[in-house]
């Protein structure tokens, strides 16, 4: 049989068709990922240290990435937790793609990663998609 000839189930079917990639429609640029996450998104790396060190309430740092499926799955859970804990805790989201230096400084090697900080010091850490109750438990003082 000559090379390039299809055999079996694919015999008689046309080969793959090459199509040009669609061009984005004209209009405003896509929304910034940090803006999509709301006010808890990190805008500048120096903001993080200042907000964590000066916070009078516990802080939950959520390290995520746009390409990470578990991070996207956890995004509404983290947002809901932030709304529930308004005034009692601060929830900040850090995109490791936009701020890799912040992730390195905190020893984050996998996402999603959740760090609880009290008084500017890390008190607990969880990696991976977790139930909201586990994230909330990170922020409660251990006795």
User: Which residue is catalytic, options 42, 52, 68, 111?
Assistant: 68
117 is catalytic: no
Q: Is residue 92 a contact partner of residue 59, using CB atoms and an 8 Å limit?
A: yes
Which strands make up the sheet holding 90-95, listed edge to edge? 90-95, 59-64, 113-118, 121-127
Is 71 considered catalytic here? yes
| Distance between CA atoms of residues 116 and 75, nearest Å | 17
Instruction: Mention every residue, 6+ apart, whose C-beta is less than 8 A from residue 37.
Output: 75, 79, 93
The catalytically annotated residue of 59, 62, 71, 92 is: 71
b/e per residue, 33-52, with b = 16+ CB within 10 A? Answer: ebeebeebbbeeeeebeebb
Residues with a catalytic annotation lie at: 68, 71
């Amino acid at each position: 049989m000559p090379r390039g000839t299809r055999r079996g189930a694919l015999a008689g079917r046309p080969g793959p068709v090459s199509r040009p990639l669609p061009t984005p429609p004209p209009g405003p640029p896509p929304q910034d990922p940090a803006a999509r996450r709301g006010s808890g998104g990190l805008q500048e790396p120096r903001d993080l240290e200042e907000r964590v060190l000066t916070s009078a309430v516990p802080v939950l740092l959520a390290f995520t990435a746009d390409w990470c499926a578990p991070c996207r799955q956890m995004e509404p859970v983290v947002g809901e937790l932030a709304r529930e804990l308004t005034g009692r805790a601060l929830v900040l989201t850090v995109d490791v793609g936009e701020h890799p230096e912040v992730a390195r400084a905190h020893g984050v090697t996998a996402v999603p990663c959740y760090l609880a900080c009290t008084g500017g010091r890390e008190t607990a850490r969880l990696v991976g998609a977790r139930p909201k109750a586990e994230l909330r438990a990170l922020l409660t003082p251990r006795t």
